[in-house]
């Protein structure tokens, strides 16, 4: 099957951008030590040598901050890069205050028990696991930027990228040697990282939405390495049950009287001409997607458990499926687009706002040169378009 990659956006060339952005022909925001693009797709960020700046204090000490971000330092402890413990600044205290008073509630506005968990016990836990605290501060900055003016937004974006960069770097290292004591903190951070990667599109439109989705899916797969050996212990913790419990609720499992989603079931036809291993991975993903549709629609409209149930689908995806997504395999893109319909039905999460539309546009671009597959885009396109019309009335 032929396919065409999504068109790149044009941008002004930057002589100061990182080498990775230059290679990918992306616009670099020039924030050091890792620019926003490299943070988002989780790759190392390297910079061209410059004799005029290589010896400057800012290039040796750490992240570059603007005058709008700079604030007095408070030494709350010894810096420890292996655990993520760093000296926190007054501005970090402002971000923590914003998290506790506003941002935490935005995660679960309809569920008091859940947002109080993010306000209280998870913040408490983050003091013992600073990489989680960096994640919370990054999400707080992202949420605050969405409601701030343009001047504040630029400064907050720098803050958000810095904290998430630190958290993500530690997350990657700890995945190599998972231990029981860090299983719950790592699970919490994985949730934060996924929400952040989706939500950051509200500040800077991703040039490659499909790659951003792939990155989120890999984050979810990564945490399985952490929680699988300690599953029984995690299931006994209140925090884990509040976060993941809805996805394990037997009451939402498909039953004999539940209506099938025919538009999802018929996707199995696309696997007939695939390589056997690829076809098996796609067939499993289709079955799990159908299950996610049924379970999400069975969630009570009075709570917000539907998001946790919806996100259980990418957590089940195989490595083969995600690798095919990275290659923009046409069948995988069509399956992903049907997942975008499910995302669109779960409306309360601000960080997924606009993503069904992004996935729809990117899939149409990628499959533009394949007329035989256009019919598979009709139902998702109609559902997502109808949602846009309903929201505008």
Q: Closest Cα partner for 307 from 102, 98, 115?
A: 115
| Final residue belonging to a domain, choices 203, 238, 273 | 238
Query: Of 71-80, 89-98, 200-209, 211-220, which gets the smallest average pLDDT?
Result: 71-80
* pLDDT for the residue numbered 388: 53
The answer on pLDDT for 16 being more than 90 is no
Please tell me the distance from the alpha carbon of residue 162 to that of residue 34, in angstroms, as a whole number. 8
The answer on pLDDT for 85 being more than 90 is no
**Is residue 152 located within the same domain as residue 285?**
no
pLDDT for 93-112, tens place per residue? Answer: 999 999 999 999 998 887 88
**Is residue 212 located within the same domain as residue 334?**
no
319 vs 55, higher pLDDT: 319
**Is residue 361 located within the same domain as residue 320?**
yes
**Is residue 234 located within the same domain as residue 292?**
no
Q: Closest Cα partner for 76 from 96, 59, 58?
A: 96
**Is residue 115 located within the same domain as residue 184?**
yes
- Share the mean pLDDT of the chain: 80
Q: What is the mean pLDDT of residues 129-141?
A: 97
**Is residue 91 located within the same domain as residue 233?**
yes
**Is residue 173 located within the same domain as residue 293?**
no
Q: Is residue 143 part of a domain?
A: yes
Q: Is residue 42 part of a domain?
A: no
Query: Of 85-89, 241-245, 287-291, 306-310, which gets the smallest average pLDDT?
Result: 85-89
212 vs 151, higher pLDDT: 212
44 vs 232, higher pLDDT: 232
The answer on pLDDT for 253 being more than 70 is no
Please tell me the distance from the alpha carbon of residue 96 to that of residue 118, in angstroms, as a whole number. 12
Q: Is residue 308 part of a domain?
A: yes
The answer on pLDDT for 35 being more than 70 is yes
**Is residue 197 located within the same domain as residue 93?**
yes
* pLDDT for the residue numbered 52: 43
pLDDT band at 347 (very low <50, low <70, confident <90, very high): low
350 vs 246, higher pLDDT: 350
**Is residue 234 located within the same domain as residue 351?**
no
**Is residue 298 located within the same domain as residue 165?**
no
Q: Is residue 36 part of a domain?
A: no
The answer on pLDDT for 241 being more than 90 is no
| Final residue belonging to a domain, choices 238, 253, 285 | 238
By residue range, what is the domain housing residue 323? 261-392
Q: What is the mean pLDDT of residues 254-258?
A: 60
Query: Of 80-94, 278-292, 321-335, which gets the smallest average pLDDT?
Result: 80-94
**Is residue 330 located within the same domain as residue 372?**
yes
The answer on pLDDT for 71 being more than 60 is no
* pLDDT for the residue numbered 9: 43
The answer on pLDDT for 11 being more than 60 is no
Task: Give the chain's domain count.
Answer: 2
Q: Is residue 388 part of a domain?
A: yes
Q: Is residue 296 part of a domain?
A: yes
Q: Is residue 360 part of a domain?
A: yes
State how far the alpha carbon of 44 is from the alpha carbons of 33, 190, 284, 365, in Å: 9, 19, 33, 28
Q: What is the mean pLDDT of residues 11-17?
A: 59
Q: Is residue 13 part of a domain?
A: no
| Residue % of the chain over a pLDDT of 90 | 48
pLDDT for 140-166, tens place per residue? Answer: 999 999 877 777 888 999 999 999 999
| Final residue belonging to a domain, choices 206, 238, 270 | 238
The answer on pLDDT for 40 being more than 70 is no
**Is residue 208 located within the same domain as residue 100?**
yes
**pTM of the prediction?**
0.76
254 vs 102, higher pLDDT: 102
Torsion angles phi and psi, residue 371, rounded to 5: -60, -30
């Amino acid at each position: 099957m032929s396919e065409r990659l999504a068109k790149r956006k044009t941008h002004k060339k930057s002589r100061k951008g990182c080498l990775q952005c230059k290679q990918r022909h992306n616009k670099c925001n020039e924030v050091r030590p890792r620019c926003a693009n490299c943070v988002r797709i989780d790759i190392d960020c390297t910079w061209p040598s410059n004799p005029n700046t290589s010896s400057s204090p800012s290039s040796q000490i750490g992240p570059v901050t603007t005058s709008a971000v700079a604030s007095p330092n408070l030494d709350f402890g010894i810096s420890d890069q292996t655990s993520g413990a760093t000296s926190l600044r007054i501005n970090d205290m402002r971000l923590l205050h914003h998290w506790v008073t506003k941002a935490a509630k935005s995660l679960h506005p309809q569920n008091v028990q859940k947002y109080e968990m993010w306000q209280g016990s998870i913040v408490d836990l983050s003091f013992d696991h600073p990489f989680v605290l960096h994640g919370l501060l990054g999400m707080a900055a992202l949420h605050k930027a969405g409601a701030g003016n343009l001047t504040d937004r630029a400064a907050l974006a720098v803050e958000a990228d810095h904290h998430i960069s630190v958290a993500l770097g530690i997350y990657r290292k700890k995945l190599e040697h998972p231990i029981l004591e860090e299983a719950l903190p790592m699970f919490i951070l994985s949730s934060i990282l996924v929400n952040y990667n989706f939500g950051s599109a509200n500040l800077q439109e991703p040039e490659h939405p499909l790659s951003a989705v792939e990155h989120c899916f890999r984050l979810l797969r990564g945490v399985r390495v952490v929680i699988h050996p300690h599953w029984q212990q995690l299931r006994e913790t209140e925090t884990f049950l509040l976060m993941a419990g809805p996805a394990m609720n037997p009451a939402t499992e498909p039953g004999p009287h539940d209506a099938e989603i025919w538009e999802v079931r018929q996707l199995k036809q696309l696997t007939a001409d695939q390589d056997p291993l690829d076809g098996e991975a796609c067939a499993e993903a289709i079955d799990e997607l159908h299950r996610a549709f049924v379970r999400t629609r069975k969630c009570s409209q009075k709570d917000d458990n539907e998001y946790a149930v919806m996100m259980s689908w990418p957590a089940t995806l195989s490595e083969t499926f995600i690798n095919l997504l990275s290659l923009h395999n046409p069948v995988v893109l069509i399956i992903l687009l049907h997942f975008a319909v499910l995302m669109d039905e779960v409306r309360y999460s601000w960080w997924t706002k606009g993503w069904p539309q992004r996935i729809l546009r990117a899939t149409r671009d990628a499959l533009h040169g394949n007329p035989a597959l256009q019919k598979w885009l009709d139902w998702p396109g109609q559902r997502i378009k109808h949602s846009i019309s309903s929201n505008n009335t």
